[in-house]
Amino acid sequence: MNASEVLKLFADPVAIKTLQWADLTTGILITLFLGMGVTFLVLIILQMATIGLSRVLAAGTESVKPVEHCAATLSSDDELAAVITSAVAAVMHKSAGEVVIKSLKQV
């Protein structure tokens, strides 16, 4: 019996009971490899789609500077304002976005 005949018999629950041990084993192995093969191919397609989408989405964010590059361009006054803002926000139990430093004077 060839593979297609065995798979046709696998579609009928009554016919499965009439199969010989060798045909039953062949049908089980064919079903196993078809199921695992289709699953493997679908997972590969999903992985490729995920990689493609991540590259497309990452292409739109290339103009945004990473934080490390922004920190290098800050002056000492900007750094001082950031430190004072975070300290005042911590004391007032607020977020740093709610506190505004309008001017700095060195004493």
Residue 64: predicted pLDDT: 55
Q: What is the pLDDT, as a whole number, of residue 66?
A: 55
d(CA 27, CA 38): 16
pLDDT in the model for residue 88:
85
pLDDT for the residue numbered 63 = 59
Separation CA 104–CA 91 (nearest Å): 18
Residue 46 confidence (pLDDT): 97
Q: Using alpha carbons only, how large is the chain's radius of gyration in Å?
A: 33
Query: Which pLDDT score is estimated for 72?
Result: 54
Which regions of the chain are under pLDDT 50?
Answer: none
Q: What pLDDT is stored for residue 10 in this prediction?
A: 82
Whose tokens are 């001082």? That residue is 80
Confidence (pLDDT) at 99:
80
**Which pLDDT value is given to residue 29?**
92
**pTM for the full predicted model:** 0.47
7, 9, 14: which is closest to 33 by C-alpha?
Answer: 7
Burial of 27 (0-12, 13-18, 19+ CB in 10 A): buried
Return the structure tokens found at 98. 């709610």
